Amino acid sequence: MIDKTKVVYQIYPKSYKDTTGNGVGDLRGIIEKLPYLAELGIDMIWLNPFYPSPQRDNGYDVSDYTAVNPDFGTMADFEEMIAVGKEHGIDFMLDMVLNHCSTEHEWFQKALAGDSFYQDFFILRDEPTDWVSKFGGNAWAPFGDTGKYYLHLFDVTQADLNWRNPTVREELFKVVNFWKEKGVKGFRFDVINLIGKDEVLEDCPINDGKPAYTDRPINHDYLHMLNQASFGQDPSFMTVGEMSATTVENCILYTAPEREELSMAFNFHHLKVDYENGQKWTIKDFDFEELRSLFHTWGEGMSEGNGWNALFYNNHDQPRALNRFVDVKNFREEGATMLASSIHLSRGTPYIYMGEEIGMLDPDFESMADYVDVESLNAYQIMLDEGKTPEEAFKIITVKSRDNSRIPMQWDASENAGFTTGTPWLKAGKSYQQINVEAEKNGKIFPFYKELIRLRKELPIIAEGDYKAVYKDSNQVYAFERNWQGQKLLVLNNFYADEVTLDLPEVYQSGNVLISNYDDVKVGEKITLKAYQTVAVLVGD
Ligand code: TEU
């Protein structure tokens, strides 16, 4: 059983801290910042891939699973990082990209050279299906000059691995055990609900083909095998599956402890509430009611089904939540703290993405030349091909690009935000002179995160309590209740700048304010929430 008091902090190593001046963040940079993270109080660091890779998809195109990309450091640095982490009470969770590997990986190269043993590592067919790649275009590409096609659900250089082949599974389990033996205590499995492909692959005109390859029943079998062959032997291991387009029912199966699959799951439904017609490359104000009801469906569904959620708003694939959900010009601090409490007091394991704890924003880039991400570059081209003007397409990129969150961590007001003395691989955001760790340490947001992390460790109701939706019809307040051994916790979050007054149920009228982002909060028959105010009221001892 995992420790539910733990909080995970995600580091995109490429953008955290560069100690060599090559413009790329590195493992020694992470070692340097461990005291900062210990002060924040987090328990575990999830590191995005730092393995050798041609970097077509920033490391999610792995060409060697058991080595360190020299740009990030050496294996000795890695081992030191684990050891120093332990001294600070911080463990590491590694990103395992087991759905696909780079076409530069020796497995693919050998397959391409005609070795049939390795050809069976990949998904080869005589006829492609109509599935659309998540990065645009058809999901199949010609396999050399063999006349066959290989499947790539992502970039053309990310070839899907054939999990139906037992040798492939064995090889991948070895990879997981290699890192486990190095002392890591967690894994984040990339798009892990896509690994289980059916034997017969068929056209699927719905939703770009997703139903044909997502959450297939065999996926659960493979996760159970993975669990048993590696981390399942150590009950303290924290594992999280990144689940693309998934369902509550499947996530209960993936995470209910007795199933022995994973500890928890990421889902992305709440991060599509600002998509027009479900399409990412559009601009739309977020739909609060959809967000609220998704949180309630997942919160209650997982609570009732004994599943476990990973709670998050930000990661390396998402524009900053602050820019999406909050009037940041006027209420950055209130919005950042409200968002934080809306997940840190909820049921599940909270994840903080680097910079979130200081209220970092999207970068305000000025031209397409500033963008690096393969998904953004492809999407820009597709939008032009579809008839958008360069201005229209660029505007959408500025709002939606994954590079928004991948910009350098803002440490101080010096050049390049104190990230590097060289030329950063991706430009720093414009706001770094005002928003940086040095300036924010004693500001409003960082100490608030610290307090939320501390409270989760102090109060079992936060870590263990169940989840119940309340004020279900509010068009402005996202609220939930936690219950644990007779204690009750009510968490109210005003998602707008307008004040709102709510009737408070009697049981809470004599409760204590556990935390709020405003001073002097009084509870009575009614409670008035100011702009982006969050209030948590605790009853019982
Ligand atoms: O992302 C999975 C995924 O489904 C992405 O399409 C994600 O939803 C998208 O980037 C948002 O527009 C994972 C990794 O997190 C991502 O960085 C990788 O590019 C991808 O897998 C392929 O490995």
> Is the C-beta atom of 375 inside 6 A of ligand 1?
yes
Please give the structure tokens belonging to residue 181: 């033996």
Catalytic residue among 43, 71, 215, 242: 242
Name which CATH class applies to 101-160: alpha beta
> Is the C-beta atom of 97 inside 6 A of ligand 1?
yes
Q: State the number of CA atoms in the 13 A half-sphere of 252 facing the CB.
A: 13
Q: Compute the distance between CA of residue 139 and CA of residue 152 in angstroms, rounded to an integer.
A: 5
Q: What is the DSSP letter of 15?
A: G
CA 99 to ligand 1: nearest atom = 23
> Is the C-beta atom of 12 inside 6 A of ligand 1?
no
CA 60 to ligand 1: nearest atom = 23
Q: State the number of CA atoms in the 13 A half-sphere of 233 facing the CB.
A: 8
β 149-151/477-484 pair status: unpaired
- Backbone torsions φ then ψ of 366, nearest 5 degrees: -105, -20
CA-to-CA dists, residue 50 to 15, 43, 57, 77, 442, angstroms = 12, 20, 12, 12, 32
Please give the structure tokens belonging to residue 463: 């870590």
Whether the model clears a pTM of 0.95, i.e. scores above it, the answer is yes
Which residues contact residue 274 at a Cβ distance below 8 angstroms, ignoring those fewer than 6 apart? 283, 284, 285, 286, 287, 324
Q: Compute the distance between CA of residue 401 and CA of residue 378 in angstroms, rounded to an integer.
A: 11
Sequential pLDDT tens for the chain (541 residues): 799 999 999 999 999 999 999 999 999 999 999 999 999 999 999 999 999 999 999 999 999 999 999 999 999 999 999 999 999 999 999 999 999 999 999 999 999 999 999 999 999 999 999 999 999 899 999 999 999 999 999 999 999 999 999 999 999 999 999 999 999 999 999 999 999 999 999 999 999 999 999 999 999 999 999 999 999 999 899 999 999 999 999 999 999 999 999 999 999 999 999 999 999 999 999 999 999 999 999 999 999 999 999 999 999 999 999 999 999 999 999 999 999 999 999 999 999 999 999 999 999 999 999 999 999 999 999 999 999 999 999 999 999 999 999 999 999 999 999 999 999 999 999 999 999 999 999 999 999 999 999 999 999 999 999 999 999 999 999 999 999 999 999 999 999 999 999 999 999 999 999 999 999 999 999 999 999 999 999 999 7
Q: Taking the chain, what is the end-to-end CA distance rounded to the nearest angstrom? A: 25
For residue 10, report the distance from its CA to the centre of ligand 1, in Å. 15
Torsion sign, CA atoms 403, 404, 410, 416: positive
CA-to-CA dists, residue 172 to 69, 98, 168, 427, angstroms = 19, 7, 6, 35
CATH number 3.20.20.240 is the correct assignment for the domain at 8-100+166-367+403-449: no
- Report, at the CATH architecture level, how domain 466-539 is classified: Sandwich (2.60)
Is 71 part of the annotated catalytic residue set? no
Tens digits of residue pLDDT in 147-173: 999 999 999 999 999 999 999 999 999
Q: Could you please report the per-residue DSSP string of 188-229? A: EETTGGGS---SS-----GGGGHHHHSS-HHHHHHHHHHHHH
**Domain spans of the chain?**
8-100+166-367+403-449, 101-160, 368-402, 466-539
Q: Which of 244, 201, 189, 197 is nearest to 219 (CA)?
A: 197
Q: Which of 252, 253, 292 is nearest to 270 (CA)?
A: 292
Q: Which residue among 317, 372, 373, 375 is best mutated to probe the pocket of ligand 1, counting the most ligand atoms within 8 A of its Cβ?
A: 317
> Is the C-beta atom of 191 inside 6 A of ligand 1?
yes
Collapsed DSSP state (helix, strand, coil) of residue 97? coil
Q: Compute the distance between CA of residue 110 and CA of residue 366 in angstroms, rounded to an integer.
A: 43
For residue 316, report the distance from its CA to the centre of ligand 1, in Å. 9
Buried b (16+ CB within 10 A) or exposed e, 103-138: bbbebbeebbeeeeebbebbbbeeebbebbbbbbee
Token match 């008091």: residue? 5
Biggest alpha carbon–alpha carbon distance for the chain:
75
